[in-house]
Structure 1
Amino acid sequence: MDQSDAYDDELPAGIGPHEGRELELMLAGEKPLAMFNDDLPEGMEPPEIAFDPYMAEGRFAKGEVVMPAPGFKNERLRYYFYALPGEEWRTARVIEILRGLIEQHLPTTPELETETGRLLGYDDADIQVFLDRFFRPEK
């Protein structure tokens, strides 16, 4: 769901990505799972710096997986996740979805994107806006 950079200008007021707000939302209990990878935008501090101290306090559970980097031969990319206590199952399901998309080269679908969005804590309105933009017909 965080592919939204290209669509940010088009999003209606009040609807938008969690990007950059994950920690705030998770500490408030409003986001059950945050997902990151090591392909960070230039100048972005690794989220682990902010998240790991809370993990040490038991506020979050961390999971990670390394998979082939999409679009790069012989390169690998680490994905890592922070889940609220009791929500670790979400990490396992997102990893399962990623394995299908990345390792098995399965196409994404509105259903998979909806499930992923819900696992990451987006509400249905946010997910629908994403789907309308990501899956809009070519003109």
Structure 2
Amino acid sequence: MDDEFDLPPGIGPHNDRELELMLAGTKPMALFSDAVHVSDYFPDADFAPHVKTGKIIRVEEIIPDEPYAMRYLFFALPGEEWRIEEALILCRNLRAGTVKDHDADSARMGELLGYSREDIETFLAHSKIGGNQEP
């Protein structure tokens, strides 16, 4: 998620709090994505000690595409790995251009990331007027 998005009041973003929320057991999965070789957005070092001890599971996938490849980095709590598999399908469909219902996919990704139904609905309503694309 990009800190440049203007979120409406009522949405409690997980940005920059993913690890904290996951260690507290209140966030089941985190996702970071960006074009390959574009940014330092990925918090590998912060999550690494917890991945090493098995408190958090890490999965990375690079999806090649034109004009650039995308890197997707997922972290999940043990027992929540199924969320990564489902989120990867959503990401692959997005990159392939095969999404049939962007709102439905955005809502599902929000659920997988641990956002409340209310936050997801607020985000979807805001994205229709503001052009944002991810919960």
**TM-score, structure 1 as length reference:** 0.81
Between the aligned partners of 2:41 and 2:97, the Cα distance in structure 1 is 31
| Residue 108 of structure 1, CA deviation | 4.7
- 1:19 maps to which of 12, 15, 34: 15
Between the aligned partners of 1:137 and 1:62, the Cα distance in structure 2 is 32
Q: Give yes or no for contact 2:34–2:41 (8 Å, CA) kept in 1.
A: no
Matched, 1:90 2:83: yes
What residue number does 2:122 align with?
129
Matched, 1:37 2:33: yes
CA-based RMSD: 2.5
Between the aligned partners of 2:125 and 2:84, the Cα distance in structure 1 is 25
Q: Structure 2: where are the runs of 5+ without partners? A: none
Between the aligned partners of 1:62 and 1:49, the Cα distance in structure 2 is 12
Q: Give yes or no for contact 2:60–2:74 (8 Å, CA) kept in 1.
A: yes
The list of structure 1 runs, each at least 4 consecutive aligned residues, that deviate by more than 6 angstroms after superposition, is none
Amino acid at match of 1:32: P
| Residue 4 of structure 1, CA deviation | 6.9
Q: Structure 1: where are the runs of 5+ without partners? A: none
Number of matched pairs: 130
| Residue 126 of structure 1, CA deviation | 1.0
Change in CA separation of 1:38 and 1:106 when aligned onto 2, cut-off 3 Å:
closer
